[in-house]
C-alpha cells in the first residue's frame, strides 16, 4: 500500500518490553495481534462499539481498535495474556469460570479486563456500577447475568 | 431426586481456562507462512446487471497477488444456482446489497482493502423488489432469475419438519408455500365469543455473534489436499459443501473447526467454499476475515416477517380457531423457515379449527439464514400477543388461558404429527409461581387510577406493567457418533466431531464420567477435525447434547463392558452381575480388595506385549424422535408515555430442559436466548433504504443489548424427561429466544393500555400507538 514512513514503537506489555517497526496508521490492536503475536484481544467491530479489543493502557481501559499504535508509544499495556500471575488466575478470571460466565469466549478477554479495571479503581462495586463498567463490552451469549455475578464474586474474593 | 454423581451438577466449562487467559484459538488468530489476505468487493446495489468489471488498476497495486471475479471461477449447473453457496461471486447480476462481486488477494489486509477501491464495476441498475408483500403480487418484478429445485441442506439441520414445501410452478418471487388445515375454520369463528384480527410485523435481525465470519484455507497442489481452518457450527457440513463445490473427494479435505466466537445458526457455512477455491487458484494459504460491516451487510440474518392472524376464543377461555397467513422475506435466496413457522404458530395450543398458510418470498435483500429457533419468534410474537388480547377482552387471566389450551403429549401439531412428551404446561406453572408474575395485579392496580384519570390509555407518568408469553422449538434430528478411549495412564478420552459452542464438551465429559463412574478430572473431551473425528451433525437445532450426548453415553457404556470383560477374566468374576466401576477401578461387588485399576487395565491393553485389545468404545446413534423444548417467560417493564422509552425491570424465564445435564450451562443458554429475544423486541433492526441498501452496518446503529439494557434474568429449569435424550435431556439452545417480543408487547399493553404490533417496539412506535405523533 501507499505507506507512510514506518517507525519504531516501544511498549511494555504485561511487564515485558516490546518493540515493533510499523506503519503509523496501524491500530494498537493490529500491532499487538499481528506483530507482537498476542492474539487474546479480539476484533469484533473495528469501530469501538463492542469492546472485544479492550486493553488496559497506562491504567485505563481502551478499545485498542480505535487507538493508533504510535499513540500508545512508551505505554504500559496489560492484555488478557498478562492477567494470570504464574499459574494463578486473576480473581476475575477465576470467577468467570466458576460462575459460568464464559460461553463462546470471544468477548471474554475484553470483558475480564473491563472487570479488572473496575475492581482496580472500585474494589466494592454495586451491581449498577458493574453493569456500567461493562456496558461498553458486548456479549451475545450470556445475557450478562453471570458476568455481573462473576465480577461481584471476584470483588468479594479479593477482600 | 437423581442418583447421578456427575450429570445434573453445575460444572464449570472444561475449556474455560483457555478462554479466560486468551489462549483459545479463533480463526482470525491463525497465521500461516506465505498466507495471502482476502477482501471482498460487495455490491453497492440491491439489484443490477454487471456490465463489466475492470480490475486492471487493482491488479497492479503493489502487494496485490490476484484479483478474482466470477469469470475466473468454476461454473455450475443452473439448478445449483438457487443455493447461495454456489454463487461464490456474482455472475452478471447482483441481487442484494452486499453481494460479493470480486475478491482481492494481497500480502496484507490493508493492501487488499485499498485494492478494492481500484476495481471498476459498471452496473446497470434493475428494478428492485424489497417488501415481501409487494413481492407476492403478480405484477411484481422478479428479485432474481427463477429458481427451480431448492437446496435445503442447511435449513434441515435446525428443524426436522415432516412436510414437503411446495415450490412455485411459474416464475414468481414465492419460493415455497405450505398450508395446513384442520376442522372447519368458519364454524370455529362462529363459535367464538371474541375474534381478534391483527397484522404483526417483525424486522430483519442479525445473530450478532461478536466474532465476524472468518476462514483460512490452504491447498497443496502436489497432493491435492485442502485444509480449512474455520469457525463453524458444522465442520462436516462444510466438508460436504466444499467437496461438492470444488469437486474434491472428502478424503482430500480436512476441515478444522476452531473455537467459534458465537454462531446462533448464522455460522454454518458462508465463505468457506470461496476461500477454498481461491486457495486452490493461488496454491497459497488464503485468509478471509469479515469486518463487522461485511458481516452485517452480507452474511445471513434472520428474516423479516408479516403475519396476518385471526383467532377466536370462547368465554370460558377455550380456543376455537386460528387463521394465519405468514410471509417470510427470504431475501435474495431461498432459506426462510416457512414450514416451521406454520407449525409453530398453531403448535403451542389446541385449536380445534385451523387454516395456516405460510410463504417464503424472495426480495432484493440479503438472503436469510438460521438464527436460534429460526422463524419462531416472528410467529410467537403474533400468536402470543393475540392470546393476551383475547384474554384481556374476556377478562381472563392470560396465563390460565394458556394453561387451559396448552398442548401436551399426544396432541396434534398443525402438520398432523403428534407431540411426544413435552413440558409446556409445566413451564407455564413455573412462571405462575414467580414473583414477577405474582406482582402483576399490583402493577395493574397501581397504574389503574392513572389510566382512568387520563381517559383510556395512560399518557402521563412512568407506568409499570407485567407481561408473559410462551414459545417452543421442535428441535433438529441428525445421526451422531463418538469414541471413548482408555488412555495409557487409565484416564479417559472422548472424541467427538461436534463443534462446541454452548458447553457441549463439558456435558460430554459429565456423561462419560457418569457412565464409567469416575471423577470428572479423569475425562478429557477432544473435538477432532473432519479427518479424525467420528461424524456428528452440525451444532444447530438444539440437538448436540440430545444426539451426540447419546452417542457418547453409548460409547462409554461400550468401554465399561470392555473393561468388565477383561476385569472379569483377571478377577475371576461374572462381568454382568459381580462387577462395578468405582473411582477408576473395576471391583468385585462386596469384595473391595478384589479390584483392578483403570491404569492397570490400560497397561494390559496397550503396553508392549500386552495380552488384551485396546479399549475403545464406539457410540453411533440414529435420532428419529424429536424432543420439543418449551419455555414460558414473564417480565416487568416501565414505560415512559412522554418519551416512549421502555425499561425492562425484571425477567423470569422457565424452560423445559428434560433433564439438565449441566444446570449452569442450561441457565446460561436460557439467559442468553432471553436477552436476544429482548433485543428483537426492543432495539434490533436491520434498516434498508428505498433502494435496498442497508443503512446500519455497524454495532453503534445495529443496537444489541448491553449490560445496562437488561436486568438480572431469573431462571427456572423445568424437567419433563424426553423419550430419547440422554438421561431424559432435551435440546435447550433455542427455545429461550422465542417469546421475548410477545412478553414485551404484552407487558407494554399492561402498562399503558395500548398495543404495538411491530417489533422492535421503539419509542417512536409507542408514541404512535399512543396517538402522540
Residues 6+ apart with CB under 8 A from B22: A38, A39, A40, A41, A79, A80, A81, A109
Contact of B623 with B723, CB cutoff 8 Å: no
pLDDT at B541: 86
Helix, coil or strand: residue B83: coil
**pLDDT digits 0-9 by tens, A28-58:** 999 999 999 999 999 999 999 999 999 999 9
B542 and B462 both lie in a single domain: no
* pLDDT, tens digit, 9 for 90 and up, residues B311-350: 999 999 999 999 999 999 999 999 999 999 999 999 999 9
Q: Which residues of A touch B287 (CB under 8 A)?
A: none
What sign results for the dihedral spanned by CA atoms B386, B388, B393, B398?
A: positive
Residues B588 and B714 in one domain: no
Cell of A20: 515493533
Q: Is the pTM of this model over 0.90?
A: yes
Domain presence at residue B7 = yes
Residues of B in contact with A100 (CB under 8 A): 10, 12-13, 664-665, 667-668
Whether B448 shows a pLDDT value over 70: the answer reads no
> What is the predicted pLDDT for the residue at B452?
52
With cut-offs at 50, 70 and 90, classify the pLDDT of residue B745: very high
Q: Which residues contact B286 (CB under 8 A, 6 or more apart)?
A: B35, B36, B37, B38, B105, B216, B217, B218, B275, B278, B279
Judge contact between B226 and B252, C-beta under 8 A.
Answer: yes
Q: In what order do the strands lie in the sheet with B100-106?
A: B64-69, B100-106, B36-42, B286-289, B214-220, B225-230, B253-257
Structure confidence at residue A13 as a pLDDT band (50, 70, 90): very high
**Between chains, do B668 and A103 touch, taking CB under 8 Å as contact?**
yes
Residues B284-306 as b/e (b if ≥16 CB within 10 A, e otherwise) read bbbbbbbbbbbbbbbbbbbbbbb
- pLDDT for residue B468 is more than 80: yes
pLDDT on residue A143 = 98
Q: Tell me whether residues B210 and A1 touch, CB distance under 8 A.
A: no
What is the per-residue pLDDT for A134? 98
Kindly report the nearest CA distance between residue A2 and chain B, in angstroms: 8
The answer to whether B524 touches B492, Cβ cutoff 8 Å, is yes
Cβ contacts (< 8 Å) between B257 and chain A: which residues?
none
| B39 interfacial to chain A (CB closer than 8 Å) | no
Nearest to A151 by CA among A127, A135, A139, A142: A127
Most A-contacting residue of B11, B16, B17, B20 (CB-CB within 10 A), to test interface: B20
Q: Is B734 a catalytic residue?
A: yes
Average confidence (pLDDT) over B442-471? 71
The helix (run of H) or strand (run of E) holding residue A148 is: helix A145-157
3-state SS class at B524: strand
What is the nearest CA distance from A8 to chain B, expressed in angstroms? 19
What is the domain extent for residue B12?
A: 1-30+213-289
Task: Confirm whether B650 is domain-assigned.
Answer: yes
Residue B522 shares a structural domain with residue B630: no
B260 to chain A, any CB pair closer than 8 A? The answer is: yes
CA A154 – CA B703 distance, rounded (Å): 29
Among B257, B289, B321, give the residue marking a domain's end: B289
- The confidence score (pLDDT) of residue A1 equals 47
Radius of gyration of chain B (CA): 28
- Minimum CA–CA partner of B499 in chain A: A104
B501 and B522 both lie in a single domain: yes
CA–CA dist B539, B543 (Å, integer): 7
Cα separation, A56 vs A37, whole angstroms: 17
CATH code at position B39: 3.90.1170.50
Domain end point (choices B126, B158, B190): B126
Quote the percentage of chain B above a pLDDT of 70: 94
Residues B484 and B590 in one domain: yes
Instruction: Report in angstroms the alpha-carbon separations of B504 from B8, B526, B631.
Output: 14, 11, 20
Secondary structure of B202-227 in HEC code, one letter for each residue: ECCECCCCCCCCEEEEEEECCCCEEE
Among A55-69, B133-147, B656-670, B726-740, the least confident range? B133-147
Confidence of residue B576 (pLDDT cuts 50, 70, 90): confident
- pLDDT for B360-388, tens place per residue? 999 999 999 999 999 999 999 999 999 99
CB B638 within 8 A of CB B463: yes
Strand order in the sheet with B629-640: B463-473, B629-640, B645-656, B713-718
Is position B135 within any domain?
no
Mutation target for B interface from A22, A105, A151: give the one with most B CBs within 10 A: A105
**Average pLDDT of the residues in B254-282:** 97
Q: Is residue B755 part of a domain?
A: yes
Distance from CA of B230 to the nearest CA of A (A): 14
CATH number of the CATH domain containing B580: 3.30.365.10
Cell numbers found for residue B144? 432474481
How far apart (Å, rounded) are the C-alpha atoms in residues A35 and A39?
A: 10
Q: What's the pLDDT at B171? A: 79
The candidate with the shortest Cα–Cα distance to B742, out of B193, B132, B202, B368, is B202
B220 in a domain, yes or no?
yes
B611 plus B512 within the same structural domain: yes
Of B590, B621, B652, the position where a domain reaches its end is: B621
B684 and B584 belong to one structural domain: no
What is the nearest CA distance from B583 to chain A, expressed in angstroms?
24
Give the per-residue pLDDT at B443.
Answer: 58
Q: What nine digits make up the cell of B380?
A: 410467537
Distance CA(B593)–CA(B585), nearest Å, equals: 11
**Within 13 Å and on the Cβ side, how many CA atoms surround B642?**
3
Cβ atoms of B766 and B639 closer than 8 Å: yes
Chain A to chain B Cβ contacts (< 8 Å):
178
| A87 band by pLDDT with thresholds 50, 70 and 90 | confident
Nearest to B210 among A33, A38, A107 (CB): A107
B629 and B732 in a single domain? The answer is yes
Query: What value does the mean pLDDT take over residues B27-55?
Result: 98
N-term to C-term CA, chain B: 57
Residues on chain A touching B673 (C-beta within 8 angstroms): 143
Q: How far apart are CA A72 and CA A11, in angstroms?
A: 7
Q: How confident is the model at residue B446 (pLDDT cuts 50, 70, 90)?
A: low
pLDDT band at B518 (very low <50, low <70, confident <90, very high): very high
- Confidence check: pLDDT of A116 > 90: yes
Greatest mean pLDDT among A71-85, B530-544, B576-590 lies in A71-85
CB-count burial class (<10 Å; 0-12, 13-18, 19+) for B191: middle
CB atoms within 10 A of CB A140: 27
Distance from CA of A145 to the nearest CA of B (A): 5
Report CA-CA distances (Å) from B420 to B19, B351, B471. 38, 18, 16
Question: Per-residue b/e over B192-209, b at no fewer than 16 CB within 10 Å?
Answer: bebbbeeebbbbbbbbbb
Q: Among B12, B23, B26, whose Cβ lies nearest the Cβ of A97?
A: B12
Paired residues of B328 in beta bridges: B305, B360
- Both B487 and B451 in a single domain? no
Q: Which three cell numbers stand for residue B39?
A: 477482501
Tell me which residue of B257, B263, B260 sits closest to B371, measured CA to CA: B263
The alpha helices in B124-224, defined as continuous H runs, are 132-135, 185-191
On whether both B335 and B457 belong to a single domain, the answer is yes
Which sign, positive or negative, has the C-alpha torsion B763, B769, B772, B773? positive
Q: Evaluate if residue B291 carries a pLDDT over 90.
A: yes
Q: How far off is chain A from B212, nearest CA to CA, in Å?
A: 6
On average, the pLDDT of chain B sits at: 94
> Considering the domain boundaries, does residue B227 fall inside one?
yes
Q: Report the sign of the C-alpha dihedral through residues A84, A89, A95, A97, in that order.
A: positive
pLDDT level of residue B577 (50, 70, 90 thresholds): confident
Total number of domains constituting chain B: 4
* Chain A residue with Cα closest to B60: A1
pLDDT tens by residue, B125-162? 999 999 999 999 999 999 987 655 566 666 666 666 65
Cα B98 to Cα B333: distance, rounded to the nearest angstrom: 13
Would you mind telling me the total number of residues written for chain A in this entry?
159
Supply the angle between the helices A145-157 and A91-98 in degrees, to the nearest 10: 130
Q: What span, in angstroms and rounded, lies between the C-alpha atoms of B283 and B550?
A: 41
**Residues B692-719: tens digit of each pLDDT:** 999 999 999 999 999 999 999 999 999 9
The β-bridge partners of B311 are B196, B322
The x, y and z cell numbers of residue B535, run together, are: 461424524
What integer pLDDT is reported at residue B163 of this predicted model?
61
Residues B355 and B441 in one domain: yes
Residue B84 lies in a domain: yes
Q: Would you call A140 and B667 a contact, using CB atoms and an 8 Å cutoff?
A: no
Q: Is residue B180 part of a domain?
A: no
Question: What is the per-residue DSSP string for B93-115?
Answer: EE-STT-EEEEEEESSHHHHHHH
- The yes-or-no verdict on residue B445 having pLDDT over 80 is no
- pLDDT confidence band for B592 (50 / 70 / 90): confident
Q: Across the interface, do A97 and B20 touch by the CB < 8 Å criterion?
A: yes
In contact, A87 and B3? CB cutoff 8 Å: no
Count of other CB atoms within 10 angstroms of residue A120: 12
CA angle B144, B147, B152 (to 5 degrees): 115
Flag if A103 and B672 touch (Cβ within 8 Å): yes
pLDDT at B153: 65
Q: Could you tell me if B17 lies within 8 Å of chain A, comparing CB atoms?
A: yes
| Ordered domains of chain A (ranges, CATH) | 7-82 (3.10.20.30), 91-157 (1.10.150.120)
- Interface contact B210-A50, CB threshold 8 A: yes
**What is the C-alpha separation between B352 and B479, in angstroms, rounded?**
35
Residues of A in contact with B710 (CB under 8 A): 143-145
Question: Which among A33, A50, A112 has CB closest to B20?
Answer: A112
| Nearest-by-Cβ selection for A106 from B61, B262, B708 | B262
Verify that B469 and B331 share a domain, yes or no.
yes
* Per-residue confidence (pLDDT) for residue B451, from 0 to 100: 53
Among candidate residues B259, B384, B719, B734, the one labeled active-site is: B734
3-state secondary structure of B720: coil
Amino acid at each position: 500500500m501507499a505507506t507512510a514512513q514506518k517507525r519504531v514503537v516501544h511498549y511494555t506489555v504485561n511487564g515485558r518490553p516490546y518493540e515493533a517497526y510499523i506503519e503509523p496508521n496501524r491500530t494498537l490492536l493490529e500491532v499487538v495481534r499481528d506483530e507482537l503475536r498476542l492474539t487474546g484481544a479480539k476484533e469484533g467491530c473495528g469501530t469501538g462499539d463492542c469492546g472485544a479489543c479492550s486493553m488496559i493502557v497506562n491504567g485505563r481501559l481502551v478499545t485498542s481498535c480505535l487507538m493508533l499504535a504510535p499513540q500508545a508509544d512508551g505505554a504500559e499495556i496489560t492484555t488478557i495474556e498478562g492477567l494470570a500471575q504464574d499459574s494463578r488466575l486473576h480473581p476475575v478470571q477465576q470467577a468467570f469460570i466458576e460462575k459460568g460466565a464464559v460461553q463462546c469466549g470471544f468477548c471474554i478477554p475484553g470483558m475480564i479486563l473491563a472487570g479488572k479495571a473496575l475492581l482496580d479503581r472500585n474494589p466494592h462495586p454495586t451491581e449498577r456500577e458493574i453493569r456500567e463498567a461493562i456496558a461498553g463490552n458486548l456479549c451475545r451469549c450470556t445475557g450478562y447475568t453471570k458476568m455481573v455475578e462473576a465480577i461481584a464474586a471476584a470483588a468479594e474474593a479479593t477482600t | 431426586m437423581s442418583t447421578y454423581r456427575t450429570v445434573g451438577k453445575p460444572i464449570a466449562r472444561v475449556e474455560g481456562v483457555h478462554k479466560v487467559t486468551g489462549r483459545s484459538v479463533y480463526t482470525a488468530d491463525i497465521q500461516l507462512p506465505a498466507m495471502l489476505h482476502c477482501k471482498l468487493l460487495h455490491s453497492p446495489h440491491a439489484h443490477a446487471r454487471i456490465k463489466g468489471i475492470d480490475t486492471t488498476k487493482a491488479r497492479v497495486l503493489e502487494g496485490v497477488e490476484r484479483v478474482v471475479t466470477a469469470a475466473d471461477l468454476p461454473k455450475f449447473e443452473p439448478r445449483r444456482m438457487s443455493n447461495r453457496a454456489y454463487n461464490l461471486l456474482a455472475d452478471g447480476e447482483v441481487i442484494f446489497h452486499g453481494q460479493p462481486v470480486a475478491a482481492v488477494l494481497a500480502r496484507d489486509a490493508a493492501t487488499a482493502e485499498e485494492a478494492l477501491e481500484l476495481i471498476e464495476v459498471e452496473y446497470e441498475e434493475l428494478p428492485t423488489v424489497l417488501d415481501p408483500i409487494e413481492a407476492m403480487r403478480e405484477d411484481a418484478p422478479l428479485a432474481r432469475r427463477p429458481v427451480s429445485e431448492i437446496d435445503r441442506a442447511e435449513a434441515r439441520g435446525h428443524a426436522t419438519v415432516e412436510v414437503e414445501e411446495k415450490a412455485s410452478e411459474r416464475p414468481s418471487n414465492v419460493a415455497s408455500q405450505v398450508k395446513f388445515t384442520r376442522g372447519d375454520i368458519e364454524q370455529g369463528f362462529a363459535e367464538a365469543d371474541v375474534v381478534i384480527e391483527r397484522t404483526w410485523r417483525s424486522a430483519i435481525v442479525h445473530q450478532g455473534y461478536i466474532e465476524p465470519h472468518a476462514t483460512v484455507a490452504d491447498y497443496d497442489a502436489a497432493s491435492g489436499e485442502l485444509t480449512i481452518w474455520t469457525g463453524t457450527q458444522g465442520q462436516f457440513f462444510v466438508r460436504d459443501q466444499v467437496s461438492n463445490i470444488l469437486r474434491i473427494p472428502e478424503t482430500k479435505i480436512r476441515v478444522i473447526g476452531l473455537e467459534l466466537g458465537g454462531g446462533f445458526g448464522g455460522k454454518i457455512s458462508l465463505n468457506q467454499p470461496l476461500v477454498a477455491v481461491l486457495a486452490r487458484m493461488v496454491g497459497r494459504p488464503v485468509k478471509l476475515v469479515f469486518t463487522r460491516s461485511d458481516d452485517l451487510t452480507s452474511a445471513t440474518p434472520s428474516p423479516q416477517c408479516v403475519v396476518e392472524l385471526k383467532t377466536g376464543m370462547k368465554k370460558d377461555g377455550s380456543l376455537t380457531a386460528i387463521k394465519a397467513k405468514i410471509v417470510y422475506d427470504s431475501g435474495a435466496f431461498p432459506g426462510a423457515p416457512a414450514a416451521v413457522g406454520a407449525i409453530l404458530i398453531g403448535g403451542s395450543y389446541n385449536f380445534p379449527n385451523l387454516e395456516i398458510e405460510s410463504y417464503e418470498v424472495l426480495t432484493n435483500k440479503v438472503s436469510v439464514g438460521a438464527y436460534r429457533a429460526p422463524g419462531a419468534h416472528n410467529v410467537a410474537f403474533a400468536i402470543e400477543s393475540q392470546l393476551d388480547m383475547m384474554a384481556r377482552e374476556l377478562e381472563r387471566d392470560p396465563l390460565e388461558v394458556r394453561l387451559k389450551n396448552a398442548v401436551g403429549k399426544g396432541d396434534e401439531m398443525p402438520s398432523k404429527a403428534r407431540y411426544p412428551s413435552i413440558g409446556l404446561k409445566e413451564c407455564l406453572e413455573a412462571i405462575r409461581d414467580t414473583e414477577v408474575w405474582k406482582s402483576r395485579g399490583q402493577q395493574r392496580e397501581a397504574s389503574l387510577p392513572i389510566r382512568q384519570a387520563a381517559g383510556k390509555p395512560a399518557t402521563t407518568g412512568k407506568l409499570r406493567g407485567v407481561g408473559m408469553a410462551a414459545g417452543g422449538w421442535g428441535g433438529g434430528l441428525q445421526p451422531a457418533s463418538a469414541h471413548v478411549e482408555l488412555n495409557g495412564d487409565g484416564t479417559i478420552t472422548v472424541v467427538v466431531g461436534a463443534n462446541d459452542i454452548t458447553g457441549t464438551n463439558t456435558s460430554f465429559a459429565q456423561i462419560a464420567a457418569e457412565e464409567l463412574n469416575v471423577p470428572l478430572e479423569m475425562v478429557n473431551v477432544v473435538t477432532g477435525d473432519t479427518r479424525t473425528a467420528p461424524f456428528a451433525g452440525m451444532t444447530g437445532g438444539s440437538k448436540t447434547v440430545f444426539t451426540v450426548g447419546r452417542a457418547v453415553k453409548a460409547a462409554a457404556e461400550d468401554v465399561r463392558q470392555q473393561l468388565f470383560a477383561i476385569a472379569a477374566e483377571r478377577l475371576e468374576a461374572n462381568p454382568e452381575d459381580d462387577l462395578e466401576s468405582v473411582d477408576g477401578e473395576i471391583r468385585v461387588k462386596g469384595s473391595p480388595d478384589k479390584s483392578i485399576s483403570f491404569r492397570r487395565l490400560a497397561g494390559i491393553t496397550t503396553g508392549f506385549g500386552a495380552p488384551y485389545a485396546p479399549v475403545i468404545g464406539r457410540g453411533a446413534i440414529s435420532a428419529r424422535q424429536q424432543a420439543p423444548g418449551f419455555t414460558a417467560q414473564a417480565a416487568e417493564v416501565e414505560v415512559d408515555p412522554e418519551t416512549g422509552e421502555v425499561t425492562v425491570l425484571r425477567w423470569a424465564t422457565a424452560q423445559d430442559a428434560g433433564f439438565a445435564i449441566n444446570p449452569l450451562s442450561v441457565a446460561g443458554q436460557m439467559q442468553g436466548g432471553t436477552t436476544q429475544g429482548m433485543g428483537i423486541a426492543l432495539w434490533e433492526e436491520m434498516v434498508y433504504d428505498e433502494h435496498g441498501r442497508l443503512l446500519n452496518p455497524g454495532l453503534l446503529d445495529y443496537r444489541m443489548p448491553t449490560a445496562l439494557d437488561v436486568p438480572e434474568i431469573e431462571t427456572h429449569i423445568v424437567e419433563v424427561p424426553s423419550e430419547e435424550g440422554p438421561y431424559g435431556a432435551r435440546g435447550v439452545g433455542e427455545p429461550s429466544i422465542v417469546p421475548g417480543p410477545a412478553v414485551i408487547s404484552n407487558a407494554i399493553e399492561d402498562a399503558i393500555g395500548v398495543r404495538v404490533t411491530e417489533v422492535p417496539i421503539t419509542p417512536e412506535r409507542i408514541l404512535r400507538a399512543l396517538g402522540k405523533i
